[in-house]
Copies of this chain bind each other. A is one copy, B any other.
Amino acid sequence: MAGNTFGSHFTLTTFGESHGEAIGGIIDGCPAGLALDFEAIDLEMKRRMPGQSTIVTQRKEPDTVTFLSGIFEGVTTGTPIGFIIENTNQKSQDYSHIKDVYRPSHADYTYDKKYGNRDYRGGGRSSARETAVRVAAGAVAKQLLKDMSFTAYVSSVGELKLTKPYQELDFSVIEQNAVRCADPEMAANMEQLIRKIRKEGDTVGGTISCVVKGVPVGLGEPVFDKLHAQLGKAMLSINAVKGFEFGSGFEGTKLRGSNHNDIFNQDGSTQTNYSGGIQGGISNGEDIYFSVAFKPVATIMQKQETIDSKGNKTSRSLRGAKGGTHSRGNGCFSIGRLLAVK
């Protein structure tokens, strides 16, 4: 059973390869009567767009969303919203050198083994370009959820890690630095580190954290579709993600129950929020916060040993979409929004 659909009420089905004619999707279940702010959608697409700073992937992708249905005179009609984003950057010749080669820690090998046939240009379906469709759908979802706010930021790059709790961070600085870190000083350090690693033709991993405020009580469907389980699945489905934690997460395992339990105030809110806004799989009205681990980008600017599709050893530079670090951050951001709808 193919797996290109996500969500049950606001359902997104996506298609598209990195270097095909277009990528796109269908949103089924968006309520009627929503007057869309297309500039806001455009802004989200621009935020995701690679090549915005010198520290990330340089490929230019204008990424204009063309809506084809489900909207009449600017307002949603309740029918499916079809949309496409054209791939204007189709330079197929760039990819002939990787046609028969399996790049290490990419999806080349597994796609070939599973499907026996693969659009090798730029990663094809396995390219992170796919996340542009998620951002577009997320931008629509965000407009449905006007009373909620979604803030994502880079919380670590390699060994450099923001240790302050999110309550002490200044979210207003996030868009003011190239790394999108929520602390100016740390942002400068991270930027310096990335430049250094980039100069070496290498990449590094990092984490992105997200805070959702204004969540109503009662979202989430136990026992399998708990809110954090769906949220975690969405995050884990983003390219290069290796881990997900919410609330106290992995660190919280070190605590005692007597410290970790969130004591209630009389209004049902809690004094602490180790639960991360979700108890028993259902939102409790407190902030939802979570972190997502991204491995170092697999495409590096160095020669690497690898094999071709016939099992021959080969050694070469295997850049495709040229290596960077955090272009996926916005994908994460938008998915955070999308998920919260459910």
Contact = CB atoms under 8 A, between A and B. Distances in A.
A93 interface: no
A307 B77 CA distance: 22
Given A232-B233, A254-B205, A79 B217 contact: no
Nearest to A233: B233
A275 to B, nearest CB: 6
A207 B245 CA distance: 13
A15 B83 CA distance: 9
Nearest to A113: B217
Interface string A253-277: 1111111111111111010001110
Given A33-B116, A80-B15, A280-B106, A232 B236 contact: yes
A8 B1 contact: yes
A5 interface: yes
Nearest to A253: B205
Interface stretch (A38-46, A65-73, A181-189): A65-73
A306 interface: yes
A132 to B, nearest CB: 12
A311 B105 contact: no
A264 B315 CA distance: 11
A276 B102 contact: no
Contacts of A300: 257-258, 261
Interface string A97-122: 00000101111011101111111000
A169 B202 CA distance: 32
B218 A229 contact: no
Interface string A25-62: 11011001100000000000000000000000000000
A82 B257 contact: no
Nearest to A80: B15
A207 B249 CA distance: 11
Given A109-B279, A263-B306, 4 more contacts: A1-B8, A21-B68, A110-B279, A114-B218
Interface of A: 1-6, 8-9, 11, 13-17, 20-26, 28-29, 32-33, 66-70, 72, 75-82, 84, 102, 104-107, 109-111, 113-119, 124-126, 130, 156, 158-159, 197, 201-207, 217-218, 220-226, 228-230, 232-234, 236-237, 242-250, 252-268, 270, 274-276, 279-284, 293-300, 302, 304-307, 311-313, 323
8 contacts: A5-B28, A15-B81, A77-B115, A230-B233, A258-B304, A260-B298, A261-B300, A274-B295
